Amino acid sequence: MEGMDQLQTLISFRDGGSGAAQELQRAASRQQGSRSERSVLTAFREISTWCDQFSLPKIISDIAKQLYKRSDEEKLLRGKPLEAVIAACIFIACRQAHVPRTFKEICNLTHVSKKVLGQCYKALEQAFNLQPGAAAHANGPTAGPEALLVRYCNHLNLLPNVQGVCSAIIIAAREHGIADGRSPVSIAGGAIYFTCQLMGHDVKISEISGVAGVSEGTIKLVYRLYYADKEKLVKKEWIDEGKVDLARLKYEAPK
């Protein structure tokens, strides 16, 4: 389907008086007027536009187009809004290309409600035999906090060493069952807030909240869980090297 939306057919008027040109023009007009084809071309343009706006690599756009073409041919989401079908295809494509995005990020990009996106995803999940659960694809990774962490740290202009410490803290917290059950988005946001305080980086919680798309209260909740078990999360060598200081951590009282 590569380049499908750029290809056109032009029929010459010169046919030596045989009338063949007129017949060919009629055939081309019928083909170009196909409602199904116009719908697919419109969807392809929307997918390309949204992926460009979201700075997603071309492979995701290509996968999403393949998914949409198949869903259109098999009439999997008849009656669903075009935007919702496209959003679900992009969501799945992100996981297949190993650059997962959260439901909320896709909803913000496409302006499709989480409820409708979830319905479309579920239908495609069953039709395409995907692994159950919106956060994963059968052959792809989950949208875990580590995957989100890279993007959030880049948006906050945090140095690579902050990201490395933060990732290690998230892993240690998982091993000790700290903050289990919390969403990957809230864990990533809380871990960044915890790490920035630990390393003496002045990053406001409102900035983290804006990047992660979760409330400040949710970030503070994860932070308090980390703070309560800080000795289990902070490596001794970090302290010995002067990389972190437990005294910098502030107690956040619940409201």
Dihedral (Cα; 110, 128, 145, 155), 10-degree rounding: -30
CA–CA distance from 5 to each of 2, 43, 238 (Å)?
8, 10, 55
The CATH topology of domain 145-248 is Cyclin A; domain 1 (1.10.472)
pLDDT at 136: 38
Compute the half-sphere exposure of residue 110: CA atoms within 13 Å on the CB side of its CA: 29
The total of other beta-carbon atoms located within 10 Å of residue 243's CB is 16
What does the pLDDT profile of the chain (255 residues) look like in tens digits?
A: 444 545 556 666 666 656 676 777 666 665 554 566 778 888 899 999 988 888 788 888 888 998 999 888 888 888 889 999 999 999 988 887 777 788 888 888 888 998 999 999 888 888 877 654 443 333 334 457 887 888 888 889 998 899 999 999 999 999 999 988 888 888 999 999 999 999 999 899 999 988 887 889 999 999 999 999 999 999 999 999 999 999 999 887 776
pTM: 0.55
SS (H, E, C) the chain: CCCCCCCCCCCCCCCCCCCHHHHHHHHHHHHHCCHHHHHHHHHHHHHHHHHHHCCCCHHHHHHHHHHHHHHHHCCCCCCCCHHHHHHHHHHHHHHHCCCCCCHHHHHHHHCCCHHHHHHHHHHHHHHCCCCCCCCCCCCCCCCCHHHHHHHHHHHCCCCHHHHHHHHHHHHHHHHCCCCCCCCHHHHHHHHHHHHHHHHCCCCCHHHHHHHHCCCHHHHHHHHHHHHHCHHHHCCHHHHHCCCCCHHHCCCCCCC
pLDDT at 95: 80
pLDDT at 73: 85
**According to CATH, what is the number of the domain 35-127?**
1.10.472.10
In the chain, CATH 1.10.472.10 sits at 35-127, 145-248
